[in-house]
Structure 1
Amino acid sequence: MSDHIALSLAEAHALGCKALSSQGFSAAHTQAITDVLIAGQRDECHSHGLYRLPGVVQTLKTGKVDPVAMPEVIDHAPGVVRVDARFGFSPLAFNLGRPKLVEKARRQGIAALAINNCYHFSALWPEVEAIAAEGLVALAMTPSHSWVAPAGGKRPVFGTNPIAFAWPRPEGPPFVFDFATSAIARGDIELHRRDGKQLHEGWAIDSEGNPTTDPTAALAGAMLTFGGHKGSALAAMIELMAGPLIGDLMSAESMAYDAGAGVAPMHGELLLALDPKVFLGEDAPKHIARAETMFEAIVEQGARLPSQRRFAARAQSDANGVSIPKSLYEAIMALAN
């Protein structure tokens, strides 16, 4: 008997929607959250796919998140739009704020979207891809819970603090990267623990500050930044830009707000959108073509562009559907029923 369940994308989406709506999420939140979960599953980003759904529900059951909160979109300044998520999950807040962000970027070349008071569980690439689909360059960043020690330190200060970037291309999907400034994503360590696998050296330390490859010890200790002091500096930048700059929590403050509940982080998110057509005017096609020359120089020597694996997985999932562990399927079905 297979230990996985095969689903079409439509079946997977319907399953996610049924589970979330059964648990009390509004129709708007149900749709927005499920869209993000299925995007991760479709692209074989398993740590950000349906695997996250039980955690979303657990955050709800602690009473931390408002499942029916309607975000407030605020036209804050000529180049800034703010969205108060009102303590709901972030996907709906982004969906509601994105049109105003795009409008402002097209008008003046650059604009920022600050999302406040949101619970965040998802990857950032769905958001920067959505902005790039409008022909705009996109950058996104957010803190999380303080799980990550600074370079040379032994105690958590930073979150996994992901940063994502998207560059629209004339043909095909955009150039996209999305990575945590920690050596590995928190969800991937949890997957290693679930699957009984050891971590790579350099990913984490235990509660005494000693290097460890044991995922359980790592989750009780601290993760490490990638690239030593360079990743640590980027993590600090993200704390500042997506924290104090937009009037929201840093990772340590988010952890304190959690108060031991162990649920999704509550903080803010900063997104930037830039319009090449405003920056470049009639010269835009010429300079966009120069970018394509760089991409070609990368791939012609056998290197791959970031997200190429995801895009290939997406094509396969669009054609053949997805599969999830039977145990996860049964857990989601229990929530749906």
Structure 2
Amino acid sequence: MTNNINMTIESASKLVIDCFVRNGCSPAVAKSVARVIVAAEADGCLSHGLFRVPGYVASLRSGKVSGVAQPKVRQALPGVIVVDGQGGFAPPALDEARSSLIELTRGNGIAGLALVNVHHFSALWTDLEPICAEGLCSLAFTSYLPVVAPAGGTKPLFGTNPMAFGWPRADGRPMVFDQASSVLARGEVMIAARDSHRMPEGVGIDANGNPSTDPNEILKGAMLTFGGYKGSAIALMVELLAGSLIGEQFSYQAGENDNKDGGPPRGGELIIAMNPVAIGGVGAFAHAEQLFSKITEQPGARLPADRRYANRVRATESGLSLPAEVVEQVRALMI
């Protein structure tokens, strides 16, 4: 049985911030990245929580990622902002440009933000919640390393290629879904391998292209897209949106150019924000609530993010229950 350590959100945040600073991050960068890591942990998204810290640190120690990068923001078009992350992590680059994106979206009704030359390793919902908090709906797309086979194929080509969508609500808790194009997030397979758990059928294949439920064999082979060819088409769309459209690498190119240190590859992210009131009128939010209520009135049905919000409340009240092994790994990285 795994031993757990209970920590407050504040204590976990300090641990992660101190670890990043010790490994070459500026305090501002450390705080920005720690925020998304601890937020994922609090919301029950363990595959993007403190489990990811060793990967972040590996990329800092190898020199692939700059922990002191100062992103450069430019307005490429009236409704388009481009942020060059200068080889740093994605959260500080987004922090630098978020207010400009919000301002453009309010004025134009719709605006896009291209993050380039960044290293994205976090959950996407953390990117969208602050935008939704300003009364805007938004979409986000990013690619990864080649770990997913296209439909009918047997070799890794696509990234897990997540996408997220957020819709603001009056109670301040936006409806947000965040999902990979693969059946599961890569981190979930890695955690299953660490904990010696089998995977459900249909998650991935081994290096010979045979179906497997062994996470270690799937990590050597390839993951599969959800919904077969439908998920494969979505993965392809994400490659184009987070690659060609914004002038960044495809997942397979990121794999060719990566130093294999276990940290996030260089890549890009596309965020599109929209102003529901400007486009659909003042009744846009009330109209959406009608649909949400139709969903939740059915026993057993819930809105995306509801479970995360419940986890967040528990974490705030009772703290985080962290695997002792993970905490010790983070502490060891500070030596």
Q: Tell me which interval the TM-score lies in, with the shorter structure as reference length.
A: over 0.9
Deviation of the 1:259 alpha carbon: 4.1
Q: Which residue of 1 aligns with 2:317?
A: 319
Q: Residues 9-52 of structure 1: CA distance to partner in whole angstroms, max 9, x if unpaired? A: 11111111111111111111101000011101111111111111
Q: Quick check: 1:291 aligned with 2:267?
A: no
- Cα distance in 2 for residues equivalent to 1:186 and 1:228: 17
Q: Which residue of 1 aligns with 2:173?
A: 173
Deviation of the 1:2 alpha carbon: 7.7
- Cα distance in 2 for residues equivalent to 1:62 and 1:171: 44
- Cα distance in 1 for residues equivalent to 2:57 and 2:289: 43
Q: Which residue of 2 aligns with 1:164?
A: 164
- Cα distance in 2 for residues equivalent to 1:16 and 1:42: 14
In the alignment, which of 318, 333, 337 is matched to residue 331 of structure 2? Answer: 333
What's the C-alpha RMSD, in Å, of the aligned pairs? 1.2
In the alignment, which of 292, 295, 300 is matched to residue 297 of structure 2? Answer: 300
Q: Which residue of 1 aligns with 2:149?
A: 149
- Cα distance in 2 for residues equivalent to 1:118 and 1:247: 12
Q: Please tell me whether the aligned partners of residues 277 and 284 of structure 2 are also in contact (alpha carbons under 8 angstroms).
A: no
Q: Residues 197-219 of structure 1: CA distance to partner in whole angstroms, max 9, x if unpaired? A: 00110000001100000001000
- Cα distance in 2 for residues equivalent to 1:131 and 1:169: 12
Structure 2, unaligned runs of 5 or more: none
Q: Please tell me whether the aligned partners of residues 15 and 336 of structure 1 are also in contact (alpha carbons under 8 angstroms).
A: no
Letter in 2 for 1:288: F
Q: TM-score, normalised by structure 2?
A: 0.98
- Cα distance in 2 for residues equivalent to 1:238 and 1:287: 27
- Cα distance in 1 for residues equivalent to 2:2 and 2:120: 33
Letter in 1 for 2:216: T
- Cα distance in 1 for residues equivalent to 2:149 and 2:79: 34
Q: Please tell me whether the aligned partners of residues 163 and 179 of structure 1 are also in contact (alpha carbons under 8 angstroms).
A: yes
Q: Please tell me whether the aligned partners of residues 183 and 224 of structure 2 are also in contact (alpha carbons under 8 angstroms).
A: yes
Deviation of the 1:261 alpha carbon: 3.4
Q: Which residue of 2 aligns with 1:238?
A: 238
- Cα distance in 2 for residues equivalent to 1:140 and 1:2: 35
Q: Which residue of 2 aligns with 1:133?
A: 133
Q: Residues 240-259 of structure 1: CA distance to partner in whole angstroms, max 9, x if unpaired? A: 01101100001001101114
Tell me the secondary structure at the aligned position of residue 68 of structure 2.
coil
Q: Which residue of 1 aligns with 2:250?
A: 250
Residues 259/24 of structure 1: CA separation in 2 closer, same or farther (3 Å cut)? closer
- Cα distance in 1 for residues equivalent to 2:159 and 2:110: 27
Q: Quick check: 1:17 aligned with 2:17?
A: yes
Q: TM-score, normalised by structure 1?
A: 0.97
Tell me the secondary structure at the aligned position of residue 152 of structure 1.
coil
Q: Which residue of 1 aligns with 2:41?
A: 41
Tell me the secondary structure at the aligned position of residue 333 of structure 2.
helix
Tell me the secondary structure at the aligned position of residue 66 of structure 1.
coil
- Cα distance in 2 for residues equivalent to 1:46 and 1:257: 28
Residues 216/62 of structure 1: CA separation in 2 closer, same or farther (3 Å cut)? same
- Cα distance in 2 for residues equivalent to 1:330 and 1:147: 28
Tell me the secondary structure at the aligned position of residue 34 of structure 2.
helix
Tell me the secondary structure at the aligned position of residue 131 of structure 1.
helix
Q: Please tell me whether the aligned partners of residues 57 and 263 of structure 2 are also in contact (alpha carbons under 8 angstroms).
A: no
Tell me the secondary structure at the aligned position of residue 149 of structure 1.
coil
- Cα distance in 2 for residues equivalent to 1:249 and 1:153: 21
Letter in 1 for 2:246: I
Q: Please tell me whether the aligned partners of residues 141 and 242 of structure 2 are also in contact (alpha carbons under 8 angstroms).
A: yes
- Cα distance in 1 for residues equivalent to 2:260 and 2:172: 44
- Cα distance in 1 for residues equivalent to 2:315 and 2:272: 30
- Cα distance in 2 for residues equivalent to 1:177 and 1:268: 20
Deviation of the 1:171 alpha carbon: 2.1
- Cα distance in 2 for residues equivalent to 1:217 and 1:328: 23
- Cα distance in 1 for residues equivalent to 2:81 and 2:71: 13
Q: Which residue of 2 aligns with 1:26?
A: 26
Structure 1, unaligned runs of 5 or more: none
Tell me the secondary structure at the aligned position of residue 57 of structure 1.
helix
State the aligned residue count. Answer: 334
Residues 192/132 of structure 1: CA separation in 2 closer, same or farther (3 Å cut)? same
Q: Please tell me whether the aligned partners of residues 66 and 87 of structure 1 are also in contact (alpha carbons under 8 angstroms).
A: yes
- Cα distance in 2 for residues equivalent to 1:104 and 1:128: 16
Q: Please tell me whether the aligned partners of residues 136 and 276 of structure 1 are also in contact (alpha carbons under 8 angstroms).
A: yes
Letter in 2 for 1:49: G
